[in-house]
Amino acid sequence: MYCKVVFDVPLDRDFDYLVPDELAAKVAPGVRVTAPFGRVLTGGMVVSVSEVRTAPEDMKLKEIASVVDERPLFGSDLFPLTRFMKTHWGCPVGQILFALVPPQPYFKVDNAPATVHIDIKTPAFTLTKSQQNALNTVRSFPAYEFHPVLFNGPSYTGKTETVLRLAGDVLAGYGQTLITVPDIAAARQFIAEAEARFGANNVFCWHSRMLLSKKKKYFSAISNGLPCVVISTRSGALLPFKNLRLAAVLDEGDDNYKQEENKPYYHLRDLLMFRAKAHGAVLVFASATPSVEMLKMVQDKQVLQIPFTEAVPGHNFTPQIKITDKKGEKSRFLSDFLVSQLAENLQKKETSLLILNRRGYSTAYYCLNCGAYAKCKKCGAILSRENTPEHGDRLVCKKCGHTETLQQECPQCHNLIFKSRGGGTQKIVTEVQKLFPKAKLLRLDSDTLKTKAGQGFEALNALKSGAADIIVGTRLASGALRGAKVTLAAVLDAELELDGPDFRASEKYGQMLFGLRGHLSGVADGRLIIQAADKEAYDYSPLLSGDYNGAAETELLLRESFSYPPYTRLIKVLIKAKDTPLLNAETAQIKRLGYNRAIEVLGPVWCAKKTDVLKKQYLLFKTDEARWLDLLAVLDSYTPAKKVTIKVAADPYDFY
C-alpha cells in the first residue's frame, strides 16, 4: 500500500511513502503520521491512500514510521475546506492542513463524557419588535439548511442578545455554536456573560493566548461533537466542528477578521460562508457598522438583512457631536474645547476616552500653523517623511509610490513652514499628564496588552468600572466599549485616520465614529469630539443624523467609480531583498505576470522601515471576478530568485 503525505513546511507538494503491512489498517486520509523527512522523523498528514504506485519506479520510497491518530481529528469537510482556502488565499496545502489540525502528537481526541448537563438561564425581559422579528425569522428556517443573515442596526438595539438567544436554542438541541468577536480583549469581556447564561462547562473561549491544556481540552470536545458555545476570535473558524448549527460574527465590519500576518491567510466572513454551507448551519452577521462588502452581498441577495430599529429601554439618548481644530493655546495635540470638556469630566468624576490611531512606521509632515498634513499631489494621501541612504530626505506616498521634496505649501492656510510629527498614544499620555497632573491616566493599545501585567488590561477593566479618569488608546479601545462607562470620547486626528494608503480608510473611520456614537447613545450627556484640520474632508452629516447606511451607500458609489472592492478584486505582492537592483528586477518580473490577467497593476510602493535589514516594496494587482483566481494561482506558484522572498495576499487589508 502507498500513501501521499504533506508536512508543515513551505513546500506546496505532497510526498510518496510506503505503508508497512502492520500499519495498513490504521492509515487513512486525514490521520497524522510520523515519517522520515530528510534525515529526521517528522510529523505529517496523509492526504490519500492507494494500492497503485504513482511515484517513478526508479525512486526508492521510504516507509511510514508510525500512525499518531486512531481516527481523523477533523470532520469530512477537512479536504474541501483546505482546497477552498488554497484556491481563495493561496498557501501550501501542508501549512493549511496543520492550521486546521495541530501538528503536535499530544493533541489527541479524548473519549467523550457519558452525560452532558445543560442548564440555560435566559434573562426575563420583554424583547423589542425587531428582536422578536429576528428570532421568529431565524427559527422558521428549516433545519440543516444554510441561511446567511445580517442583523443590521445601531448600537443598543439588542442584536447580541438575539444571537445569544439563538445560541441557547442550539445548545438546548445539543448542537454546536460558534460566536466570533474581533479581538482577544472583546473575547475576554464577552466570556463571563456567556458562562453566566449557558454554564461554564458548556462555554469554550478560544484564542491565540490560551493555555495549552485548555486548547487540548476544547479541541477534543469540539471534535467529539459535544454541545457547546464557542466564544472565539477569527481562529475559532478553523476548529473541527462536527455538529455546527449556528455561527455568528459580531461586529462584522472589523478588519481584525482578516488574517494576513501568518499563514494560512483567510477572511473570516468568506471562510464561515463556506463552512456554514457545508454544515447546513445558520450564519448570522451582527453589526451596527457592517462592511461595504457585506452590504453589497445584501444588495445582490446573497445575504438576508434583518433590520434592528428600536433601542432597548434606557439607551436611546442622542449624543452631542462637535468638530474642532486639532490644536489649541494650551496644547499642540488637544483643542481648547476638548481640554475644557476633559476638565468638566474630571470634576464630575466621569471617564473620558481619547483615540489616536497611530498607524504605520513613518513620520507625517504637517503644517506648523494649522496642523494640516502634506498630501500627495497624485492621489491625495498623507505623505510620509523618509530619510534613507539610497534616496536621501524626501516625502513618500505610501499609497501610490509618488515622491516629493520637503518644500511644501499648506493647502489650508498656504503656510510654508512644516515639521515632522511622530509619536502616538504614549506621547498623548505625556501631554495630558502635564495638563491634568492629578488625573489617573491609562493607555490601551496593542503594546500595553502584550502581557497580563500590562496596563492595557487595567484599562479594559477601567472602561467598565470607571476606575480611570482618562484612557488614551488606539482604535482597539473603541471596539471595547461594550458596557463601558465612558461619557466623553474624542478622536484626536481625523486626517491621520482618513489619508493613509488604505482605500478602506474612510470606511474604517466612519465605522469607528458610528461605533463611538452608538456607545454614547447609551449614556446620558454623551459627547463625541472630532479634531480635524480640514472639516470638509469627510461628510459628517450622516454621523450627525445617525444614518450609517447612508454613509455606506456613498462609500459604495465611490468604490464603484474608482474600481475598488467589492467591485473588483485586489492581490498584493510584497517583495523583499537585501540588494536594491535585485529587488527592482524581481519586482519588474512579477509585474509582468499581471499582463492579460489584471485590469491594472499599481506600484511598486516602498514600504520598508529605516531599521529593516531587507528592503521592501509591494505591487497591487487589480483584477475582475473572472480572472482573479487564475491570477492568484499564478502568483502563488511563482518561485522568486535566490535571496528574494515574496508574500502574496489576496483581498489585502494591510497597506503599511
**Tens digits of residue pLDDT in 588-607:** 999 999 888 999 999 898 88
What is the average per-residue pLDDT within 279-287? Answer: 97
Phi, psi (deg, nearest 5) at residue 197: -90, -40
| Length of the chain measured in residues | 656
The answer to whether the beta carbons of residues 48 and 16 sit under 8 Å apart is no
Q: Is 147 helix (H, G, I), strand (E, B) or coil?
A: strand
Instruction: Please tell us whether the domain made up of 129-307 is placed in CATH 3.40.50.300.
Output: yes
- Evaluate if residue 540 carries a pLDDT over 60: yes
Q: CA triplet 422, 425, 428: central angle to 5 degrees?
A: 85
Domain ranges of the chain: 2-75, 129-307, 320-358+423-559, 569-650
- Evaluate if residue 97 carries a pLDDT over 80: yes
Grid coordinates belonging to 598: 489584471
The answer to whether the beta carbons of residues 512 and 355 sit under 8 Å apart is yes
pLDDT one-digit tens code per residue, 472-506: 988 888 877 877 889 999 999 887 778 767 889 89
The least confident of 254-263, 278-287, 304-313, 378-387 is: 378-387
Grid coordinates belonging to 483: 458596557
Q: CA triplet 584, 586, 587: central angle to 5 degrees?
A: 60
Cα–Cα distance measured from residue 131 to residue 23, given in angstroms and rounded to the nearest whole number:
55
Cα–Cα distance measured from residue 587 to residue 619, given in angstroms and rounded to the nearest whole number:
8
In the structure, what pLDDT confidence band is assigned to residue 389 with cuts at 50, 70 and 90?
A: low
- Residue in the structure block whose three cell numbers are 499518531: 68
- Evaluate if residue 360 carries a pLDDT over 50: no
Angle between helices 184-198 and 159-172 (to 10 degrees): 50
2-75: CATH topology is GIY-YIG endonuclease (3.40.1440)
- Evaluate if residue 109 carries a pLDDT over 60: yes
pLDDT one-digit tens code per residue, 436-485: 999 999 988 877 877 767 788 888 888 888 899 999 988 888 877 877 88
Q: How far is CA 7 from CA 73, 100, 101, 106, 591, in A?
A: 16, 13, 12, 17, 31
The least confident of 54-58, 209-213, 388-392, 431-435 is: 388-392
Same fold, 129-307 and 320-358+423-559: yes
**Cross-strand partners of 306:** 151
In the structure, what pLDDT confidence band is assigned to residue 362 with cuts at 50, 70 and 90?
A: very low
The least confident of 130-134, 159-163, 386-390, 531-535 is: 386-390
First to last CA, the chain: 50
Of 289, 209, 278, the C-alpha closest to 249 is: 289
Cα–Cα distance measured from residue 249 to residue 268, given in angstroms and rounded to the nearest whole number:
9
pLDDT of residue 359: 37
Q: Quickly count helices (H) and strands (E) in the chain.
A: 18, 29
Cα–Cα distance measured from residue 603 to residue 76, given in angstroms and rounded to the nearest whole number:
42
Q: Omega of the bond prior to 264 within 30 degrees of 0, cis? A: yes
The answer to whether the beta carbons of residues 6 and 47 sit under 8 Å apart is yes
Higher pLDDT, 646 or 460: 646
Q: What percent of the chain has pLDDT over 70?
A: 95
Grid coordinates belonging to 55: 511515484
320-358+423-559: CATH topology is Rossmann fold (3.40.50)
* Superfamily the domain 569-650 falls into: Ribosomal protein S10 (3.30.70.600)
Q: How far is CA 273 from CA 242, 476, 585, in A?
A: 16, 26, 40
**Cross-strand partners of 34:** 43, 66
The least confident of 52-56, 526-530, 573-577 is: 52-56
Classify burial at 626, counting beta carbons within 10 Å of its beta carbon; exposed 0-12, middle 13-18, buried 19 or more. Answer: exposed
